[in-house]
Amino acid sequence: MKQRLLIAAVLAGLVSLATHAGATCSRDINAPVSANGASVIIEGERVNGIYPDVLRSVGARAGCSVLFTVVPRARQVAMFKAGTADVLVPASRTQGRDLIGTFVPMINHRAMLISVNSGRAPITSAQDLLARKELRVAVVRGFDYGESYAALVEELRKQGRLFVEVDVIAVARLLHAGSADVTIMGPTLMAGAIRRESRVHGLQEKLKIESIPELPWTQSGAYLSNALKPEDLALLREALEKAGKSNQIMEGYLRYFRADLLTDSVRPRQ
């Protein structure tokens, strides 16, 4: 009897394994993307970079076809909120996004204050930045680093010294031209934009990067839309979890950036 039960269990496991191995997504997976440093590199109609590379790899393993379309960051986020985008990458984890999507962590990162080094006194907190009313701050529309970031940006807007730009390259140009003094984002985003934009070459060596307690380490990775069919969501989530645990994203960062640039802003998933 025990032998029959064992054989039955083994056969059931094999059937389950075969069924899972043959699973594929029920439709194409829509992944709108926007230029985002080395995370997402747009060259004409070509989409490359750390996250597209991982999504292609994950899609191939899961039997899912991932379709990329190029849109501004704000539209990318709006599409995900509306349920017309199946994937949002890269994305910091936030309470608002948790209501509409399933988050898969890939790395730990933090936003930092980035400025052209002018010899000014260090900025030590959000209140310090708000008190320095002579400093003009530029951010990217659609970026979200959590509640403290949103509150800081809103206060800067009320003070009338906030520039909101469509992408990182536009912010880099403002810093280079002296039209803005400070930005708030991950340093790798700025480094990637400078690398690709000939008009701001040389800016990287002039930058000052500062951390403040209101912008702590957070998880970053991929959001999957809860509007996906449950079986598609489960398939993609499992594949992305495997990629996250293997630190595939961190390895991608190390291919694009020097390790010293990552030390203060990007860490492997733990």
Say yes or no to pLDDT of 129 above 80: yes
For 12-45, the pLDDT digits (tens) are 343 333 334 457 999 999 999 998 888 999 988 8
Q: Which two tokens stand for residue 131?
A: 């008190």
197 has a pLDDT exceeding 50: yes
Mean pLDDT over residues 215-229, rounded?
95
Distance CA 234, CA 240 (A): 10
pLDDT of residue 5: 38
| Cα(148)–Cα(132) distance, integer angstroms | 18
C-alpha dist (Å) from residue 3 to 106, 128, 176, 178: 43, 72, 74, 78
Number of helical (H) and strand (E) elements in the chain, helices listed first: 11, 13
Is the pLDDT reported for residue 94 higher than 50? yes
- Mean pLDDT (the chain) is 90
Query: Mapping DSSP to helix (H, G, I), strand (E, B) and coil, where does residue 68 land?
Result: strand
The pLDDT score that the predictor gives to residue 171 is 97
Q: Which two tokens stand for residue 129?
A: 């930045």
Determine contact, residues 161/133, Cβ cutoff 8 Å.
yes
Q: How far is CA 36 from CA 62, 92, 142, 191, 216, in A?
A: 25, 13, 11, 10, 20
Burial 132-168 (b: 16+ CB within 10 A, else e): eeebbbbbbebbbbbeebeebbeebeeeebbbbbbbb
**Residue 78 token pair:** 């709006």
- Give all domains of the chain, ordered by start, each with its CATH number: 26-109+218-268 (3.40.190.10), 112-210 (3.40.190.10)
Give residue 263's pLDDT: 86
